[in-house]
A = this chain, B = another copy of it.
Amino acid sequence: MKIGYLGPEASFTHHAVKGAFSDEEHVPYTTIPDCLEGLITAQIDRAVVPLENALEGSVPITVDYLYHDADVHITAELVSPIQQHLMVHPENESRWEDVGRILSHSHAIAQCHKYLYYRFRGRALETSTSTAAAAKYVSEHPEENSAAIGNSLAAHTYGLKIVEHNIHDYHFNHTRFVVLSRNPILDELRLESEAEKTTLMVTLPSDDRPGNLHQVLSAFSWRQLNLSKIESRPLKTGLGNYFFIIDVEQSFEGVLIKGAIDELEALGCTVKVLGSYKKYSIVQK
């Protein structure tokens, strides 16, 4: 099976792909739309892209593309802890505290803001297009004594030495990746999994009444269906028109969730089922 992912090699998405699909072929793409187009045109069998709280990708781009363009289905969710490490060229291991400048993706620098402030205040921080690109640069310039911030895969890929582990500010921070396929199937992976869940995209009736959303949630609430996520997104048909992404903590096979969807459609809502799937945890090495 060919697994496309948001690259470059050694990105956080690549790390999740290696954890979930270790025996398959991995194909990097430059952007999220490129990766989804690769799936739609059958260059690959699965696309893995970040959905929430990601480093390299933007959540809105994934969500909007799924809503507006792509007729694809979520087959699994991969949840990976964000672990940022400080790494240098092996030649500079003994003098890493005198590092001249520190390179990484702007989001990674932001996630290690407090560490950098208290440990390396005043040191030059330079942004790169990805954490992997920062690691590559450091590996190619041992004479500079610069450091990169990134994941353990980037250190391994580019032969760098991790000198401080887990320098990110928040230790319960995770990135959610979705595995996408052209067909609505359920991927069973050899990883620890939690209960199934179902992701819906709901567009409210066009009359923008206060309480419309409240009525939508009633359909879930009285059935005791728990929602683990709800998010409004602009419809791009003008300001003030929204659709909602709702995660229900139940498989689509349950009779209750089908009843809720029927009720929403009777209320004038449009409901798109993005997938019914399992959530898997990726362990960082």
A79–B54 alpha-carbon span in the complex (Å): 24
A113–B59 alpha-carbon span in the complex (Å): 16
Contacts of A273 in B (CB 8 A): none
Is A217 close to B, CB under 8 A? yes
Which of B68, B173, B226 is in CB contact (< 8 Å) with A208? B226
Q: At the interface with chain B, which of A27-35, A84-92, A140-148, A154-162?
A: A27-35
Is A210 close to B, CB under 8 A? yes
A127 and B129 contact, Cβ closer than 8 Å, known pairs A214-B217, A217-B214, A240-B228: yes
Contacts of A54 in B (CB 8 A): 58
A30 and B127 contact, Cβ closer than 8 Å, known pairs A172-B238, A174-B239, A211-B221: yes
Identify which of residues 112-130 in chain A touch chain B, using a CB-to-CB cut-off of 8 Å.
113, 117, 125, 127-130
Contacts of A221 in B (CB 8 A): 210-211, 214
Contacts of A226 in B (CB 8 A): 208-210
- The residue of chain B having its C-beta at the shortest distance from the C-beta of A55 within the complex is B58
Is A225 close to B, CB under 8 A? yes
Is A231 close to B, CB under 8 A? yes
* Contact assessment for A170 and B31 in the assembled complex, using a CB-CB cutoff below 8 Å: no
Contacts of A227 in B (CB 8 A): 210, 213
- The residue of chain B having its C-beta at the shortest distance from the C-beta of A281 within the complex is B239
Tell me the interface secondary structure of chain A in the complex: mixed
* Contact assessment for A30 and B234 in the assembled complex, using a CB-CB cutoff below 8 Å: no
* Contact assessment for A231 and B231 in the assembled complex, using a CB-CB cutoff below 8 Å: yes
* Contact assessment for B173 and A236 in the assembled complex, using a CB-CB cutoff below 8 Å: yes
Contacts of A128 in B (CB 8 A): 129
29 contacts between A and B (CB under 8 A): A30-B109, A31-B125, A32-B110, A52-B60, A53-B234, A57-B106, A58-B58, A58-B107, A59-B59, A61-B107, A61-B110, A61-B111, A64-B170, A127-B130, A129-B129, A170-B236, A172-B234, A209-B226, A210-B221, A210-B226, A210-B227, A211-B222, A211-B224, A213-B217, A213-B227, A214-B217, A214-B221, A230-B230, A231-B231
